[in-house]
Chains A and B, each alone.
Chain A
Amino acid sequence: MPSFMLSLIIFLPLVGVLAIALLPKRYELYAKWAALVITVANFALTTWMVIAYGRADGMQLEQKIAWIPQINVNYHVGLDGLSFPLVMLSTFLFMLAVVASWKIDVKPRLYFSMLLLLSMGLTGVFAALDLVLFYVFWEIVLVPMFFLISQWGGARRRYAAMKFFLYTFLGSVFMLVGIVALFIMTGSFNMVELRELAPIAFAGEGGLWSLQWWIFLAFFLALAVKVPVFPLHTWLPDAHVQAPTAASVLLAGVMLKMGTYAFLRISVPILPDAFETWQLTLGILAVISILYGAIVAFAQTDIKKLVAYSSVSHMGFAMLGIAAGTATGFNAAMAVNISHGLTTGMLFFMVGMIYERTKTLRISELSGIAAQMPRFAGFFCLASFASMGLPLLSGFVGEFLSILSSWESPALPPVLTILAGIGILCGGAYMLWLMQRSIFGEPSEKVAGQKDLNLREIAVLAPITVMIVVIGVYWNTILQFTDPFATDLARIFGA
Chain B
Amino acid sequence: MVVGQTDIVSSFLPPFQGYGILLPIALLLIAAFWALFANLLPGKDRGASLVGLACSVLATLCYGFSVPGALLFGGRYFFTPDARFAAVIICLLAALWCLWTFGSGQNGGLGRTREAVAFAMLSAIGAVIAVAATDIIVIILALELATMPSYVLVGYRRYRIKGLEGAMKYFLLSVLTTLIMLYGASFLVGLSASTTFAGLASLSNNALTLIAVGMVVLGMFAKMSAAPFHWWAPDAYEGAESWALSFAAVVPKVAVTVVLARLIFIISQPVPQVAEMLMVMAIFSMIVGSFAALMQVNIRRMMAYSGVSSAGFILLVIAMMAMGLDGSLFALNAAILYVAAAAFATMGVLFISAHEGSMVADLNGLSERRPGAAWALAIIAVSMIGVPPTLGFFAKLNVFLITAAAQQYALLVFAVVMVVVSAFYYIRLIRASFFGESQKKTTVVTDALDAEKEGMADSQNLAAEIEATFTDADIEPATSYPAKTSYSPCAVAAIVLIVVVLMAAGIFHNPIMTFLAGS
Nearest CB of chain A from residue B63's CB, rounded to whole Å: 21
Chain A residues 134 to 162 lying within 8 A of chain B, measured CB to CB, are 135-136, 139-140, 142-143, 147, 150-151, 155-156, 158-159, 161-162
- Known contacts A150-B435, A166-B423: does B388 contact A180 (CB below 8 Å)? no
* Inter-chain contact A70/B330, CB cutoff 8 Å: yes
* Inter-chain contact B387/A173, CB cutoff 8 Å: no
- Known contacts A70-B517, A136-B389, A183-B404: does B416 contact A156 (CB below 8 Å)? no
Is A176 close to B, CB under 8 A?
yes
* Inter-chain contact B400/A176, CB cutoff 8 Å: yes
Closest to A66 in B: B510
* Inter-chain contact B510/A166, CB cutoff 8 Å: no
Q: How large is the interface on B (under 10, 10 to 19, 20 to 34, 35 or more residues)?
A: 35 or more
Distance, CA A161 to CA B404, complexed state (A): 32
Nearest CB of chain B from residue A74's CB, rounded to whole Å: 11
Distance, CA A166 to CA B513, complexed state (A): 30
Closest to A142 in B: B387
* Inter-chain contact A158/B330, CB cutoff 8 Å: no
Question: What number of residue pairs across chains A and B have CB atoms under 8 A from each other?
Answer: 94
Distance, CA A162 to CA B432, complexed state (A): 12
Nearest CB of chain A from residue B457's CB, rounded to whole Å: 10
Partner of A180, one of B400, B419, B427, B513: B400
Interface centre among B330, B394, B416 (most CB of A within 10 A): B416
> With a CB–CB cut-off of 8 A, which chain A residues contact B513?
68, 70
Closest to B406 in A: A184
Partner of A173, one of B420, B447, B450: B420
> With a CB–CB cut-off of 8 A, which chain B residues contact A150?
434-435
* Inter-chain contact A158/B447, CB cutoff 8 Å: yes
Is A67 close to B, CB under 8 A?
yes
* Inter-chain contact B509/A68, CB cutoff 8 Å: yes
Partner of A159, one of B393, B400, B405, B451: B451
Is A400 close to B, CB under 8 A?
no
* Inter-chain contact B427/A165, CB cutoff 8 Å: yes
Nearest CB of chain B from residue A171's CB, rounded to whole Å: 10
Scoring A residues 152 to 195 as 1 if CB is less than 8 Å from chain B, else 0, what string do you get?
Answer: 00011011011101100110011011001101100000000000
Chain A residues 32 to 87 lying within 8 A of chain B, measured CB to CB, are 66-71
> With a CB–CB cut-off of 8 A, which chain A residues contact B405?
184
Closest to B403 in A: A180
Nearest CB of chain B from residue A124's CB, rounded to whole Å: 11
Is A214 close to B, CB under 8 A?
yes
Is B37 close to A, CB under 8 A?
no
Is A132 close to B, CB under 8 A?
yes
* Inter-chain contact B451/A177, CB cutoff 8 Å: no
Is B483 close to A, CB under 8 A?
no
> With a CB–CB cut-off of 8 A, which chain B residues contact A174?
413, 416
- Known contacts A140-B388, A159-B454, A214-B409: does B401 contact A184 (CB below 8 Å)? yes
What are 27 A-B contacts with C-beta separation under 8 Å? A66-B510, A67-B510, A70-B330, A136-B388, A136-B393, A139-B388, A140-B389, A143-B382, A150-B435, A151-B434, A155-B446, A155-B447, A156-B451, A158-B431, A158-B447, A159-B451, A162-B431, A174-B413, A174-B416, A176-B397, A177-B404, A177-B412, A180-B401, A180-B404, A180-B412, A184-B401, A214-B409
Could you tell me which A residues sit within 8 Å of B by CB distance? 66-71, 132, 135-136, 139-140, 142-143, 147, 150-151, 155-156, 158-159, 161-163, 165-166, 169-170, 173-174, 176-177, 180-181, 183-184, 214
